[in-house]
Chains A and B, each alone.
Chain A
Amino acid sequence: MTTTTDPVLSVRNAQKHFGAVHALKDVSLQAYRGEVLALLGDNGAGKSTLIKCVSGVHGLDAGEIFLDGERADIRTPASARRAGIETVYQDLALFDNLTPAQNFYCGREIASPSWLPRGLRFLSHRAMDQEAARVLDRLKVKLPKFDAPVALMSGGQRQAIAVARATVFARKVVILDEPTAALGLRESRKVLDLISQLRAEGNAVILITHNMEHVVELADRAVVLRQGRKVGELKPTRANQQELVSLIVGAET
């Protein structure tokens, strides 16, 4: 399913230094629509650095990022978002005091009239509520109350809201940084279902996780980083799960 189309995201020969630390050594990576790509590696392997370069938090020292075949100049988180890359970090970047719909559109409000400066426009409450409700419904995210602040929702519900928000604006790639790390079993299950829903809708999903069960179950492809280098790329199955773990920790097989 991955070879038939061109990659939506292509990172070529990425290099990143932090002082004396060589965090990314010539890493290349492709992501395709309708595919979940697992990005694996031990702590300090370079996963987060790579993701932060793609989402504009860090700039690459060398190497290029292509989106749909065109070279993308990603320097800031805002430019990454404009380019169609949405990232859900572990802190979720949710506004606890706002409702799910308000969270969806915070910073990108639907408002008019357009001739006014952005801050002085009037909010289209109904349009935003309806659109947010439609997306949550489509993604089968169930919330106890749609008009309650996010502070009143569980970890899984908050994760779902953050992921759903990302999908609204992600035209190219959704990056999820350990989305189940803070969740219990049942809530993790919900988020995994949500991820496969995203894939079914044709999104390119990059998933960072330490949970090998989730990788085997969900990922179409896995890329393994170790000490800043790409050490493997394969299709995760039950059979090669041990091999994946060996690649991650660097043990001989």
Chain B
Amino acid sequence: MGELVSEQPETAPSGGSSHRPTASLGVTVGLRLLAIGPLLVLVILIGAISLLTPNFLKPINVSNIIAQTAVIAIVAIGQHLVILTRGIDLSVGSNLALSTVVGGLVYLGTGSAPLVILAILLTGAAVGAFNGLAFVYGRLPHPFIITLATLSICRGLALELAPGHTTMRGMPDVIQAIGGASTFGIPNSFFVVLGVVVIALIMTKAMVWGRWIYAVGGAPDAARQMGIPVKGVLVSTYVISGLCAGIGAVVLAGRTAASSPLYGNLLELDTIAAVIIGGASFLGGRGHIGHALVGAVTIGVIRNALNLLNVDVFFQMIAIGSIIVVAVEADVLRNYLESRVRVLQATRTQ
């Protein structure tokens, strides 16, 4: 994305006054490039890495990437909805850990797979509901603090609840199949991601509720003026984010056949990074499910490739952090270019 981003601001405004059509073309092309930028980066990344390490595109490695990316992708979709409303959910990682621990305890107690799944999903959604209700009805200025608090509470609760404060072995076969097995060589977790994506797409694109999410994120005051139930919309996004953490917990517990209070460490950063790297706007109201997916896969690909290339794990953190910086700057640049378009529109009005 680096090259695309750095070239546009020069071409766009410089021709502004003298060559209006050129400037307008530059701005339009810039916006288009920014729109497909993240996907383009991912494709280039995959191409480059497969040249560097032939193992990268082997089926076994691809399904590895899918399995490793699934949890980030699922939780990132929930995170994406929250970010669309200008919010943030820092609790998803420890929420996921707490959910697996609750599931592990239910497994110890009952051994019933449906009950374990239900317990995990309900825990996730309940934490989300707490976040949303505390944020909205506690009249907090921003969800940062409340989700930071639940980040801490959930992690502590998970450690407290887990026998011996550590990992519990064992998960029902069904859950192990969901998280760990494959169908026709495709990891089952891929189908879970697919299901979450389809449901999220229907909700955001086809339903009134989805339109309201974009409205609340785009202009909260206007949304209130237009009679949109802003509070309900906000709470619902946190519930869904929590539920997504729960779904991620099922997948992770299944893949590892275990539950642990240590799971999901820094998952909040991975999911936020995925949403932003994918091209959704941190300023709210901009982005779609595809952005979260592209971002999650980008992170998965980078991790996997650096592993294959035997690059130090610390460098992975630096690499992902650097990409976040570029992505956020791209967002700022997009806003700048759009303001250019507005000016051009005004001068062209006859």
**Residues on A close to B: CB < 8 A?**
77-78, 81, 91, 93-98, 102, 106-109, 111, 118-123, 144, 151-157, 184, 186-187, 190
The residues of A that contact B232 with a CB separation of less than 8 Å are 119
* Interface contact A98-B226, CB-CB below 8 Å: no
* Interface contact B219-A144, CB-CB below 8 Å: no
* Interface contact B214-A97, CB-CB below 8 Å: yes
* Chain A nearest Cβ from B192, distance in angstroms: 23
Closest to A122 in B: B206
- Decide: A152 near B285, CB < 8 A? Known: A93-B222, A121-B208, A123-B211: no
The residues of A that contact B285 with a CB separation of less than 8 Å are 95-97
1/0 per residue, CB under 8 A from A, across B280-293: the answer is 00000110000000
Among candidates B218, B233, B341, B349, residue contacting A156 with C-beta atoms closer than 8 Å: B349
The residues of A that contact B341 with a CB separation of less than 8 Å are 152
**Residues on B close to A: CB < 8 A?**
206-209, 211-212, 214-215, 217-219, 221-223, 225-229, 232-233, 285-286, 338, 341-343, 345-346, 349-350
* Interface contact B225-A77, CB-CB below 8 Å: yes
How long is the Cα–Cα vector from A184 to B342 in the complex, in angstroms?
13
* Chain A nearest Cβ from B177, distance in angstroms: 32
- Decide: A184 near B346, CB < 8 A? Known: A106-B228, A119-B229: yes
Among candidates B206, B214, B218, B226, residue contacting A108 with C-beta atoms closer than 8 Å: B226
* Chain B nearest Cβ from A86, distance in angstroms: 11
* Chain A nearest Cβ from B239, distance in angstroms: 13
* Interface contact A152-B342, CB-CB below 8 Å: yes
* Interface contact B215-A95, CB-CB below 8 Å: yes
* Chain B nearest Cβ from A70, distance in angstroms: 22
* Interface contact A102-B211, CB-CB below 8 Å: yes
The residues of A that contact B206 with a CB separation of less than 8 Å are 122-123
Closest to A184 in B: B346
* Interface contact B211-A106, CB-CB below 8 Å: yes
* Interface contact B218-A97, CB-CB below 8 Å: yes
Of the A-B pairs whose beta carbons lie under 8 Å apart in the complex, a sample of 24, sorted by A's number, is: A77-B225, A77-B227, A91-B221, A91-B222, A93-B219, A93-B221, A93-B225, A94-B219, A95-B219, A96-B218, A97-B218, A98-B218, A102-B214, A107-B215, A108-B227, A118-B208, A152-B342, A155-B342, A155-B346, A156-B346, A156-B349, A184-B346, A186-B349, A186-B350
* Interface contact A81-B218, CB-CB below 8 Å: no
Chain B residues touching A, majority SS: helix
Closest to B210 in A: A123
- Decide: A106 near B223, CB < 8 A? Known: A95-B285, A119-B229, A123-B208: yes
How long is the Cα–Cα vector from A157 to B345 in the complex, in angstroms?
9
Closest to B340 in A: A152
* Interface contact A123-B226, CB-CB below 8 Å: no
The residues of B that contact A186 with a CB separation of less than 8 Å are 349-350
* Chain B nearest Cβ from A158, distance in angstroms: 8
How long is the Cα–Cα vector from A184 to B228 in the complex, in angstroms?
33
Closest to B232 in A: A119
How long is the Cα–Cα vector from A185 to B222 in the complex, in angstroms?
27
* Chain A nearest Cβ from B213, distance in angstroms: 10
The residues of A that contact B227 with a CB separation of less than 8 Å are 77-78, 81, 107-108
Closest to B283 in A: A97
The residues of B that contact A144 with a CB separation of less than 8 Å are 345
* Interface contact B219-A187, CB-CB below 8 Å: no
* Interface contact B207-A123, CB-CB below 8 Å: yes
* Chain B nearest Cβ from A85, distance in angstroms: 13
Closest to A110 in B: B208
How long is the Cα–Cα vector from A97 to B285 in the complex, in angstroms?
6
* Interface contact B226-A93, CB-CB below 8 Å: yes
The residues of B that contact A107 with a CB separation of less than 8 Å are 212, 215, 223, 226-228
Among candidates A78, A98, A120, A184, residue contacting B209 with C-beta atoms closer than 8 Å: A120
How long is the Cα–Cα vector from A187 to B209 in the complex, in angstroms?
35
How long is the Cα–Cα vector from A157 to B342 in the complex, in angstroms?
9
The residues of A that contact B229 with a CB separation of less than 8 Å are 119
* Interface contact A120-B219, CB-CB below 8 Å: no
How long is the Cα–Cα vector from A190 to B212 in the complex, in angstroms?
31
* Interface contact B207-A151, CB-CB below 8 Å: no
How long is the Cα–Cα vector from A155 to B285 in the complex, in angstroms?
20
How long is the Cα–Cα vector from A78 to B223 in the complex, in angstroms?
12
Closest to A143 in B: B345
The residues of B that contact A108 with a CB separation of less than 8 Å are 226-227
Closest to A111 in B: B208
Using A95-B214, A111-B208 as known contacts, list a sample of 9 further A-B pairs with CB atoms less than 8 Å apart, ordered by residue number in A.
Answer: A94-B222, A98-B215, A107-B212, A119-B232, A121-B207, A123-B207, A151-B338, A186-B349, A187-B346
